[in-house]
Amino acid sequence: MQLIKSFRGLRPTRELAEKVASHPYDVLNRDEAFALAKDNPHSFLHINKPEVDIDPAVSVYDPSVYAKGRENLDRFVAEGTLCRDEQDTLYVYRQVMGEHTQTGLVAIASVDAYEADLIKKHEFTRPDKEDDRVNHMDALDAQVGPVFVTYAAQAKVNELIEQVTRSAPEYDFAAEDGTHHTFWTIADEALTEDLKRRLMDWTASMLPMAITAQQLLPVCEPCVRIEIQTIMETNPITIFWWYCSLTTKCKSSITTASLKT
């Protein structure tokens, strides 16, 4: 069974990447998100936490909030803030936080692998939070929250990812919180296929989402069935994160699976 696949990322331009990068939606309350986004029209918080653009008297679960998220996503695309890659690819993303470095392979992971327990679940989630993300996903036709995954280290996979990181990055900047972000696209199709093959049929484990560093959020190709996005990693046991996917209307069972992380 194929565990991961490449995709066409919808992601920030080099010039705007630092402004688009945002915290995950679930580590900020409404007031904190508003403070970060109010003077930055490019912040991804306008998409993944769109209540920042809605009257505070309106519930964060009101349909108008999700509609505003879709409006903002469409605006980001129309204005060229987010641009679509021309070809399917995998990506490599590195965060440096003080003395800690973590490097991740950005990919889409198979729902079939999830259902077959090749991707291990780490916890049950609250129904109200699941419903919120389902409503957000349905309104945007997109999944814009990362899933972190870890797997047992494999020397050849590490070597291939290290090979990518020796090339010039697509993005490279330090965020206000001191976290350094570096992001590469993998242009070598043979290398991409080698990585996918070496991660085939491996068992991976989802990680808790207690992440505080800012994240870049690419969005993947429309797909007939939404595939769980994930992120796999490199160094000994660290490994890590992310994805997003533009979707055609997705099946509720698949949507639920992607949220029970």
* pLDDT at residue number 186: 93
Burial 26-65 (b: 16+ CB within 10 A, else e): eebeeeebbebbeeeebbbbbbbbbbbbbeeeeebeeebb
Cα atoms in the 13 Å half-sphere on the side-chain side of 211: 22
Q: How many CB atoms lie within 10 A of CB 141?
A: 16
- Using the predicted structure, report yes or no on whether residue 67 has a pLDDT greater than 90: yes
CA distance 124 to 113: 18
Helix (H, G, I), strand (E, B) or coil at 58: coil
In one-letter notation, the amino acid at residue 261 is T
- What pLDDT digit, counting tens, does each position of 204-221 carry? 555 443 332 333 333 333
- What pLDDT digit, counting tens, does each position of 125-136 carry? 778 888 888 899
- Using the predicted structure, report yes or no on whether residue 254 has a pLDDT greater than 50: no
Average pLDDT over residues 145-162: 81
Query: What confidence tier does 76 reach under pLDDT thresholds 50, 70, 90?
Result: very high
- Using the predicted structure, report yes or no on whether residue 78 has a pLDDT greater than 90: yes
Q: What is the pTM of this model?
A: 0.74
